[in-house]
Chains A and B, each alone.
Chain A
């Protein structure tokens, strides 16, 4: 495990908005092929941390180092859904290929390689037959697959997912978790923000738990399940302890 390359290292990070600290003293690292789940209550600063990892926001103190061929724009990102998107008139293909935009630079249009990449990623996520459909007519699960395909167009080493299963029905949630897990087994590093402790414990390899403005836990999933904080959180969420 430990000989795998470190892709993101976050040391002593403190994050906040306009002088107010949201969360401080965050320390963790993500290695190639990891599946890190970030847990925490509403407003604990998960999305803020995600922005910092993406390089959209610089930490107030501490530092975030990206290495192993992962530059600032080379993290595939699945944002929390916004209201604007729900009734957006765009075809699936248009959305997926927009993931390639970081590669175009000043060139105004997509080239053949980028178009092929979009096709490949639609196949990979099983949405090829939806290519011409309108995004707003899709089910929540299909929409998330489209956004995942877009994220894969942007970067195929690390995916950062901010609460990807929110608003999906249980069946679609399981499908999406399995899809993400499959991508992880194919070598893509996954960092996922989640409320869902059961899924985290089931799929993740590492857990980062934040709350009360600080880091409560970072380590492997097995250590988390056996730690006092992990046990109490799992029980309070009504989950079962799976060993």
Chain B
């Protein structure tokens, strides 16, 4: 045990481990805040679709050899978020089919492009780490960290300022509209923020596992808690704790960070599920 602790202490003197921890916790916090709304609005599929789009965009960025891949990934993902939201509201085009189309399309194109154009010797490894997250998220640059801190602060501030409106739009869109709340605007805000979080989270858990980060804490909290505020707080706590535990374990056992965090989320979900069974009696 003491050996483990001293190993951790050694690691935490290294700046890139500190970076990983800061980024990991912030992303976990942001994704859980929005997760509740996305799950309740039945928007979680949009999160899934967007993560595939982000993968496609990243392949393009890799091929172009950009040093700053965000410049492509961020705008493409945000634009797709807006597009998906629009099609989702259109009754004529089936919303879920549109999402499936865009997301699987982006995945296929991205993979093909990487295979054709990549100069890297280890294409499979590159793809694997964009899909499932790097083996360790220890490759973050100082710029990545600051970008993540800045964007997370914006996301959290927006969430707090618009908390009441987000609640109302999530619970009952037609009522909110009738009382003069600009619900289309808030849906747009939710979609854009989701896109930003997904792009940020791609470094941490990889594009295939992002939905897990968004959905599991929200579902766990919703099983047990009875008010919107407590569900949000609980899901934030679960998400942050799981991210911390996941990152620590992944360092100690050298497991991939992304899937370790998601495993922790699943374990918590099971625990909360059992608690809810007992509570119902």
Contacts and interface: CB of A to CB of B under 8 A. Distances in A.
Q: Do A and B bind each other?
A: yes
Interface of A: 51, 54-56, 72-73, 75, 77, 79, 82, 84-85, 88-91, 93-95, 98-99, 101-102, 104, 108-110, 132-134, 137, 147, 150-151, 154-155
A77 B178 contact: yes
B180 A73 contact: yes
A108 B227 contact: no
Interface stretch (B60-68, B126-134, B161-169, B189-197): B161-169
Nearest to B218: A89
B175 A77 contact: yes
A101 B40 contact: no
Nearest to B229: A94
A68 B176 CA distance: 23
Interface string B213-248: 000000001100111110100000000000000000
A73 to B, nearest CB: 3
Contact of A79 (B161, B172, B180, B221): B172
A27 to B, nearest CB: 23
B81 to A, nearest CB: 20
A56 B176 CA distance: 11
A195 B64 CA distance: 62
A94 B228 contact: yes
Residue among A75, A88, A90, A137 with the highest chain B CB neighbour number at 10 A? A90
A101 B179 contact: yes
A95 B229 CA distance: 11
B171 A98 contact: yes
19 contacts: A51-B174, A54-B177, A54-B178, A73-B178, A77-B179, A82-B172, A84-B41, A89-B226, A90-B171, A90-B227, A98-B167, A99-B175, A99-B179, A101-B168, A108-B160, A151-B175, A154-B175, A154-B178, A155-B179
Contacts of B172: 79, 82, 85, 98
Given A89-B222, A89-B227, A90-B167, A101 B176 contact: yes
Contacts of B226: 89, 91, 132-134, 137
Contacts of A101: 164-165, 168, 176, 179, 181
Given A89-B228, A94-B229, A104 B178 contact: no
Nearest to B92: A18
Nearest to B225: A89
A94 B181 CA distance: 16
Given A84-B41, A89-B227, A137-B226, A77 B164 contact: no
B163 A73 contact: no
Nearest to B36: A89
Contacts of A79: 172, 174-175, 178
B180 A108 contact: no
Given A98-B167, A99-B179, A101-B181, 10 more contacts: A54-B177, A77-B174, A82-B172, A84-B40, A84-B41, A94-B228, A98-B164, A108-B162, A108-B164, A109-B164
Q: Which 5 A-B pairs have the closest CB atoms?
A: A73-B180, A102-B179, A134-B226, A91-B227, A77-B178
Contacts of B225: 89
A56 B174 contact: yes
Residue among B42, B221, B225, B227 with the highest chain A CB neighbour number at 10 A? B227
B78 to A, nearest CB: 24
B128 to A, nearest CB: 37
A126 to B, nearest CB: 21
Contacts of A82: 172
Contacts of A94: 167, 227-229
A49 B24 CA distance: 50
Contact of B171 (A72, A88, A151): A88
A85 B163 CA distance: 18
A141 B177 CA distance: 24
B261 to A, nearest CB: 24
Contacts of A132: 226-227
Interface string B111-141: 0000000000000000000000000000000
A165 B161 CA distance: 36
Contact of B180 (A89, A98, A102, A137): A102
